[in-house]
Structures are given as C-alpha cells and as structure tokens.
Structure 1
Amino acid sequence: MAYIEIFSLLLSITYIFYLIKRPRIGLNEPPLVPYRFPIIGHTYDFLAHDSENFLTKCKEKYGEPFSLYVFGSVRTFTGVGSSPEVLRHDGFDFHKAKAKIFPAADIFKPFFEDLSVVSLARVVREQVSGKMNIYASRMQKELLSGIEEYIGNCKEPKVIKNIREMTARIIAKPVANIVLGEECAQFEDIIGSFTVVENELQKMRYAPKFLLFIHPSFYKFFAVLPLKFGWNPISHHRDLFVQRCKPIVEERIRQRKELGEKYIQKEDLLDFFISESKTDVVDNKLMDRLFANLYSVVFASINTTSRSLSFALFDYGGRPELWNELYEEQLKIHSESNGYLSIEDVNKMVKLDCFLKESLRHSSPIAGLVHVLIDDSYTFSNGTTIPKGRDVSVFIKDTAFNDKFFGETSSDFQPKRHITLYPNGTIVHSPATKVDKSFITFGGGKHACPGRFFAVNEIKMGLHKLILKYNIRTESGKVVPPIKMSSVKILPNSGLIFENRN
C-alpha cells in the first residue's frame, strides 16, 4: 500500500511540474513535434520504439533543427546541416549537459573539489596525445602482454564470449603504464581496478528514471544521495591506489628533493601531476588529488577505447573479404619494423586506419553528444533561436550515413570510401582522427575529443598484433549487427572465435 501512495505522490508532483514547466515554445524557436500524452511527451517513442526511424521522420516532416519533449523538458535535435554549429560554437557545453544526469564530478569531488574537466582535456592533449612517439614502445609491449594473458595461444580455436571485458583488460595495461608509470602497471589488481571503475561509476545511475519526468535535477538529487551518507562507489579504488602507489609517490618525491634540478621527470601522468602539485608532503590530500585526476582520465579512456576496439573486432570477424588485404598490410609493416612499431609505422597502416574509421562510423550512436546552451540564446543559420539552458542532442546518424557525404552506398561497410586516388597516382586517405562535417564520432571543432589520437593509435596497434597472431571470426561466420537500444548501439550478444595463425 505504501508503494502505491508513494507512486501516487510522485505522479501528482510530476503533473504539477508538468503544468509549471510544460513546453512553451517561442515564436522563433525550432518546431516542437506534436505529441499525444502530457508528461510522457515523446519519451516513449524515443526510448521504446525505433528511435532511428522516429528521428528520421521528424526531420523529414519538420526540418532541422526540431524539438522533442523528452524526460520532462524540451530538447532540440540537430541534423547534418545544423550539428556543426553546435559542435563548434563556444556557447554549447558538452560537460555541463552530461553532468545533469551523470554525476561523475560529484563522485570525484570528495577527493579533489577543484577537479577541472577543461584542464584535464589540456593535460590529455599535451601529455598523452602529444607524446605518442615516446609511448609507442611501451604501448605495444603492454598490448602484447595483455593479448597473451587474456586471449592466449589459441592453438585450438577458442570462443570468447565477453569481448568487451577482454578488450577492456587488454586496453587497461598500456593505459596503466602511461597514467601510473611502469612500476604500477605491473600490479594485476590495479589493472582490474581500471577495468571495473566504469561499472562502479555507473551504479550512480540506479536512481529511478521516473524522476527524470519530473525534472533532471530530481534525478540527480537522488543519484548523488548516497554520497551525502558517506557511500561512494569508488572509495575502494582510492584505497587500492594509495596502497600500491603511495610508496612510489614517496620515492619519486624523495628523488626530487635529493636531485633538485637534476631530477628528470618520468614520462607518465603520475609524475606530471606530482610536479603540478608543488608539494613534497605525501599526505591524504595529495593522494586524493592524484587519485581524482588520474582515475578521471582512466574512466574516459578505457570506456570508449575498449568499446571501439570491440566493435572493430566484430566488424573484422564477420567480413572475410577484408582479411587478406588487412593481413598483408600488417605483415609488411611488421617485417619493415622488425616487430617494433614506431608511430611512423602506425601511420603507414592506411588500410587498417580506413577500416577502423568505417567501424567507428557504423558503431556511432544514433543520437548523442548532448550539449547545453550556456549563452543567453543562440540563433541557428536557418533563423530559429533557442534559449539559454536548452539541451541540444546531435542526430549523429543523419551525418554518419548521409548520401551527401558517402553517396548511395552510405549504409554499406566500405573502408575504401575514406581513400581518394588522384589521376596523378597520389593516394590520400582521411584518417580516423580527423573530425569534419562528415565524421563527428569524436565531436567537432576545438572541443573534439583530445584523447582521440591516443585512442586510435592504441586500437590500431592492438588490431595490428591481433590480426598477425590470430584468425578471428564471428561464431556464425557472418556480420553480426549491433543491438540498438533507444539512441545507442551496444555490442552484439555473441562471441568471437580466435585461432592461432601458426
């Protein structure tokens, strides 16, 4: 009985908020698609139905941008023509939009209140992506170690069901090496911590989604409520980090004090943040600050990179027509480099890069990259205006599979579409790291993902080693399409077969 009373109370509150906050669209705003049910609006169509066709029909009928009433508020959706405006204009903020319903900053705040997403992006750009030449040998060493440990020899064909878990563990080893240094990368429990921290953070999403219909702030309030009572899902990761890394931090600070200006800073983020801290006191405050900065980078890197590598393996395993061409390129580069890849060698993997870019295009969400307008207003090039605080979602599929960019074969998986052959024999390819109007997987403009260079190179190195070592195929021997859940795509509920080439 109590549950019915609570539900009735929430329903009443929701309806009151609907009456107060029901959509009021200005005369010059993008058109609001009509809906039948108050409170629910378009949410059911967007979540439960085929969101791809739903958004396509909305755009065809109302043009772009258009607006939907989802989760208790109006959200504007941009298509191929208007999405670049959102991705490049400083008035739209991706991180503030994400923070509305996913309280990552609140989770890390107890450890370091001044954690800045903007400064972390700069660190990743300069200290990780900007030092790929330095990290190349360490990355491939750790990738090979992970492949041996988590896949094995495979003299007999081996079926691996949980591809995402396997790729996360492989990816975590080079990430640990570069983030924490070679000393810490040897600890298996640290590698395990890196791979599960994403799941721990996702526990904060367990607040009832019903609350979103009232207002996103209600959902976030209940999502972070456990933090107010002292429960934090990543506290035990912090304890493990201190246990393993504090002796290393103490030794590095001792060397800094002893050597002074002669101290040579080590090439990892741990030493960078020690230097940035400007302290020689190893206390809880320092360890908390280091943990918050480093694990924020870990969460962002392993989550997206392991997902992309997993999709690429499924795309490879279901397309035998690509196997020989990709294998021959990797074998040639392997022979020329004597098995020790430099970044210059990775840049020669043109066919593999185009394959990866096509995989990223096909695995992109249907809609996403939500931004919130932080300026007073914004007027799109078609003359429609949205107010401050409006959430804007990018209809990614409208760009990723647009005939304007990719012709009538836009729905086909064709890696060669990213290669241009000129009459004089010159061959130019559009790399997977390049963001433009036709490829927005990594965002766009100066706010594009700063870690994409590291991620793409790590994936290519991993694929290079995997293709050389194994025959990889899907269990059915055919392409296994991703599972579509609302506006996102998740990995197929299937396994891959690995068999040693030798």
Structure 2
Amino acid sequence: MRLLGMLPSAGYTLMGKNTRLVFEAGWVRERDSIFSRPSPPFASALTMLDTFTVLYALVPLGSVLYLLQWLRSLKYKATPTIGPSAPLLSYWGAARFLYDAKSVLEEGYATHGTKPFKVATFREWHYVVSTPQHIDELRRAPDDVMSFTEAAIDEFNFEYSLGMRDVRSDFHAGVIRTTLTRNLATLSTDIYDEVKSAFADVIPATNDWTMVPAYSSMTQIVARISTRVFVGLPLCRNPEFLDLSIKYTMNVVTTGLILGLFPDFLKPFVNPMVNTVTKLIDRAEHLLAPQIEERRKCMEEFGDDWAHKPNDMLQWIMEAAVNELPEEQTNRALAVRILVIGFAALHSSSMSFTYALYYLAANPQYILPLRQEVETILSDHGWSKASLQKMRRVDSFLKESQRLTGFNFCLMTHKVLQDFTFSDGTFVPKGDHICTGTPMTHHKEEYYAHPREFDPWRFSDMRDETGEGVKHQMVNTTADYLPFGLGRHACPGRFFAVNELKSMLAHVAVTYDVALEKPGQMPAPEIFGSLITPHRTAKVMFRRRQ
C-alpha cells in the first residue's frame, strides 16, 4: 500500500500551495526551536555541522529509501500502470487521476483492453479490471479478503465524517434489505402523497415558466419523500429536521473529501476544523427524542403491537436495535442511524433524479411518451407499487440517465484486506483497491449500441425484444450495469430508491412541462477525482402542463 506522507517531501508536494505553506511554516518553527536556541550540551556540536555535510548524508539516505520502495513494488510490477509507477513519481499520476479520472480510465482501457491495469491515487493503487470473469471473481471474493465497506470508509473517511460510534455496525442494512422492501407496497400511497405535496411546495405548478435551481430543489423533494418513510408525519415536513438532514448529507461528503487530502496522522486534527456533524446530530437527537421515548414506552408496555403503531424506518430500527449492544439503543445512536440512512438515500437519489431531469429538460420531446404511459396505467390500475412496475418507459428513462452519467467513474470498488491473485495471475497486494470502471461497462459497445448516446427507451425496448421483463429493470444488477453494485453487496435500498424515483418522474410527466434555460444544452456534470455530481447551479424551467 502506498502511504501518503511517508516522506516530508511527498507530503508537501501533495497538499497544494496553501497547505504546503502551513507545513513549511510548521517545519520552520520546529527547525528554529532546535537550531536557534540549542541547549548548551548540543550547541558546540551543532555549530560544527557543515550544511553541505548534512546534505551529502541525506542524498544517499534518500536513495536507499527510494530503492526500498522500488524493491517492494517489484512483486506487482507485472500489472501495467497508467502514468509513472516509481515511488514518489507516481504522485504525478495520482494528481492526474484527481483532476481527470475519466480520461485516465479511458486511456487504460484503450491501451490494455481486457487486461487489468492500475492507476495511482494519493492513498493507494487502484487496480482496474474489465472482463466479466474478473468482475465475477471480485463479486465472489470473501469479505475478509476484499471489502466493499472498507473501501467506502476509506473513500469518504466515514470514521470521521459520519459521527457514528462504530461505522462498521450496519445492522440497519438488513432492515433496509428486508423490512423496507417488504413494506413498499403498503407505503406506496404514502410515498406518492409526499411526492405530490413536496413538488407542490417546492415547485408550484403555474401557467408561466418558473426558473428552478434543479439540484437543490430535487434535494429538498427527495429529503421530504425519504423522511416520510424514515420518520413519518409530521416530522418529515419539519423545516428544521429537513434542513439538518440535508446539511448532514452535504457535510459527510465534503468532510470526507477534504480529509482525503491529508495523511492519516493529520486527520484527527483537521476533522474538528471542517466537520460540523456533532451539532447536526445534537439537533437531530433533540427533535427525535420525544418520538423515540414515546415509542420505547409503547414497546415496553404493549410488546410488538399496539394501536396506531408507526410503520416507518425509525420503528424498525428501534426494534432491530434491541438485539444490538446497549450503546446502539440510546436516543443519540438511533438519531445518528436515521441520519446515516438518510445520507445514503438522499445523496444518491437526489443526484439520480437531477440527471434525469436535465435529460428530460434538454429533450422535451420525450415528455409526451412518458405522460401517455403514466396516464394509461393510472387510468387502468390506479396508483400502486404494481402500477409503478408497469411503467417501463419511466423505468428505462431513469436507468439510461444513470447508465450514461452516474455517480462515479469507478464501480464496485473493494479494499484488499489480504493479498489476492485473480485466476489469470493478476496479483493485488493488501491495502490497495480494486474496481471496474464506466468505460469498460456502461460505455462499452459490446454491451450497448451507441453507448455514448442518450437513448431513453433503450431498456424498455430490450424488455420488449427479449421478453425478459425483469432482466432489464432498473433495480436489477448485472455485470454491465453497476450503479447499485453487484452480488451480496448490491445496494440494499435500491428497490425503495427506484420506486421513489419512478414516482417522482411519473408525477413530473403528468403535472409539468419542463425545459432548459438554454434549449438543448445539457448542463455538464461536476467532477472531482472519480466522483461525478450533477451541475449544482443549473436551472430548469417548469410550468403547468399545457
């Protein structure tokens, strides 16, 4: 594993101008404290040291360290590298990956085809695989050998950014995978009720065009819908709770990315300067405590069932926490757990729908086919989970927008916990990361015709042609469609997320006309490293459907 900051020069090189100056200032202060005011026993000795003698000593020492790093890397030299692979010089490749990850991955795929290659990051090497065989081996690797969770903790520095007591405690994932998914049919009416209410509040339908900041507006709406399922009425419409839920999500992401620029030993010191999560958790605990206390009292008095028992995430988590450590049952721990679940839902769904909205506004000719499908199904079957499943064009539109853009150029990223060798002999050392990427999956011509073009009915046409209704649904995970991951670590909340997104798009189609301020000019996504987010300030025009 490549350690950031092993040598002072490496640490200074990576930080950027302002941070480097802080480091240099710290070094100068330390140097001055040693040399300017030496204690008497050392004073005469220090004055005898010649500056050039010290420099001559450092050169061979640095050479030895460089050689040791080089020898250590020989074990995995067989895997080709995009950019320099030598110690220290590889940071040049890491800088390029930070600023242009897409072209680095495309270059690797164009140069090496189906063969694995590696790219440098400031923290570790990323090994990139592309064949179905490699992806399947990645999927099947045991968790104690390769870990999706540990990779996510590394990427977003969750040990600091989430504010959780134990970031590896994920009993809520089982609740999402089972209880939430089983209740989607029951909750579909509540979800659509909140969809209508949230859109009416955030984007009132008027006869005149209204300019709306797309990303922030969709974030507010997704927050409303998600918290309706997570904590129910009336808290899901409480402005303070919605505000802190959104700020918590943004804080986790920004804090994680900022801390990623620093070596591990500095993160405990930098975190308090950039992280506001503690105050947000305090506010969440204050707002949730009355509900938690009332529910806990009913659970103690009535057991598993009582009149008007809530059917929401908070209740399911409280019931599941009974089997966990006492520390997981406190009001604060439950509040943090709800915020963490909200972070996962809000971060991904708001971006997904913003992408879809940009594509729809840039191509308003597609709104009529969507509208016709939705209105036909609703007139025949009414609003229900089953009705949503029949909306093939709505599903296809969302899936295609996510395929073409997505959240990350790197997909299925895992951290290697034990040295691992693929069946073709590719060796990946402990501590590094393995992933596949969009150029060799979502944008691959072998999988998709004209993969760089937006084809809204791509997947609905596949379902019609093949007769395989389930295979090409958005919730289904395959080796050529990986936004939700694959295998046992596929996103447990994807069924809820897709229902939410389809409900939103169906409502937009039957309620509004949409357009871009500059017709046909799709807002470019914003990119940081391998992460992709929708344009944060672009605006979309809405009006009541004509």
Residue 245 in 1 paired to residue 288 in 2? yes
Counterpart in the other structure of 1:176: 227
Secondary structure of the equivalent of 1:393? Answer: strand
Aligned-pair CA distance for 1:223: 3.1
Structure 1 stretch 69-78 or stretch 283-292: which is displaced more?
A: 283-292
Please tell me the residue identity of whatever aligns with 2:416: L
Counterpart in the other structure of 1:214: none
Residue 306 in 1 paired to residue 356 in 2? no
Q: Assess if the C-alpha contact under 8 Å between 1:474 and 1:497 holds in 2.
A: yes
- Partners of 1:285 and 1:139 in 2: how far apart? 28
- Partners of 1:145 and 1:330 in 2: how far apart? 19
Q: Assess if the C-alpha contact under 8 Å between 1:241 and 1:291 holds in 2.
A: yes
Residue 336 in 1 paired to residue 380 in 2? yes
- Partners of 1:267 and 1:182 in 2: how far apart? 11
Q: Assess if the C-alpha contact under 8 Å between 1:33 and 1:68 holds in 2.
A: yes
The number of aligned residues is 481
Counterpart in the other structure of 2:11: none
Structure 1 stretch 444-453 or stretch 382-391: which is displaced more?
A: 382-391
Q: Assess if the C-alpha contact under 8 Å between 1:201 and 1:233 holds in 2.
A: no
- Partners of 2:167 and 2:260 in 1: how far apart? 27
Secondary structure of the equivalent of 1:335? Answer: helix
Please tell me the residue identity of whatever aligns with 1:69: A
Counterpart in the other structure of 1:215: none
- Partners of 1:484 and 1:201 in 2: how far apart? 18
Counterpart in the other structure of 2:159: 105
Which among 194, 201, 210 is matched to residue 142 of structure 1? 194
Q: What do residues 204-244 of structure 1 show as CA deviations (whole Å, max 9, x unaligned)? A: 24647653xxxxxx2x44333356x6995222222222332
Please tell me the residue identity of whatever aligns with 2:73: R
- Partners of 1:244 and 1:170 in 2: how far apart? 20
Taking structure 2 as the reference length, the TM-score comes to 0.79
Q: Assess if the C-alpha contact under 8 Å between 1:88 and 1:447 holds in 2.
A: no
Q: Any residues of structure 2 matched to 1:406-417 within 5 Å, and which?
A: 406-407=448-449, 409-417=450-458
Secondary structure of the equivalent of 1:40? Answer: helix
Residue 93 in 1 paired to residue 156 in 2? no
Counterpart in the other structure of 1:54: 104
- Partners of 2:348 and 2:466 in 1: how far apart? 39
Q: CA 1:444–1:25 in structure 2 vs 1: closer, same or farther (change >3 Å)?
A: farther
Counterpart in the other structure of 2:490: 448
Q: CA 1:168–1:249 in structure 2 vs 1: closer, same or farther (change >3 Å)?
A: same
Aligned-pair CA distance for 1:261: 5.4
Aligned-pair CA distance for 1:44: 2.8
Secondary structure of the equivalent of 2:372? Answer: helix
Which among 327, 332, 354 is matched to residue 396 of structure 2? 354
Please tell me the residue identity of whatever aligns with 1:102: F
Residue 130 in 1 paired to residue 130 in 2? no
Secondary structure of the equivalent of 2:110? Answer: helix
Q: Which has the larger radius of gyration?
A: 2
- Partners of 2:235 and 2:409 in 1: how far apart? 38
Please tell me the residue identity of whatever aligns with 1:271: Q
Q: CA 1:261–1:334 in structure 2 vs 1: closer, same or farther (change >3 Å)?
A: closer
Structure 1 stretch 303-312 or stretch 69-78: which is displaced more?
A: 69-78
Counterpart in the other structure of 2:128: 77
Identity within the alignment, % = 20
Q: CA 1:297–1:20 in structure 2 vs 1: closer, same or farther (change >3 Å)?
A: farther
Which among 431, 441, 447 is matched to residue 399 of structure 1? 441
Residue 321 in 1 paired to residue 372 in 2? no
- Partners of 2:260 and 2:350 in 1: how far apart? 27
Structure 1 stretch 63-72 or stretch 147-156: which is displaced more?
A: 63-72
Residue 151 in 1 paired to residue 194 in 2? no
Q: Assess if the C-alpha contact under 8 Å between 1:363 and 1:482 holds in 2.
A: no
Counterpart in the other structure of 2:52: none
Aligned-pair CA distance for 1:301: 0.6
Q: Assess if the C-alpha contact under 8 Å between 1:361 and 1:400 holds in 2.
A: yes
Aligned-pair CA distance for 1:70: 2.6
Q: Assess if the C-alpha contact under 8 Å between 1:330 and 1:349 holds in 2.
A: yes
Which runs of at least 4 in structure 1 moved beyond 6 Å after TM superposition? Answer: 7-10, 15-19, 282-285, 421-429
Aligned-pair CA distance for 1:131: 1.6
- Partners of 1:274 and 1:4 in 2: how far apart? 46
Which among 406, 427, 433 is matched to residue 475 of structure 2? 433
Q: CA 1:380–1:303 in structure 2 vs 1: closer, same or farther (change >3 Å)?
A: same
Please tell me the residue identity of whatever aligns with 1:413: F
Aligned-pair CA distance for 1:499: 0.8
Alignment root-mean-square deviation, CA: 3.2
Please tell me the residue identity of whatever aligns with 2:117: F
Any stretches of 5+ residues in structure 1 without a counterpart? 212-217
Residue 257 in 1 paired to residue 297 in 2? no
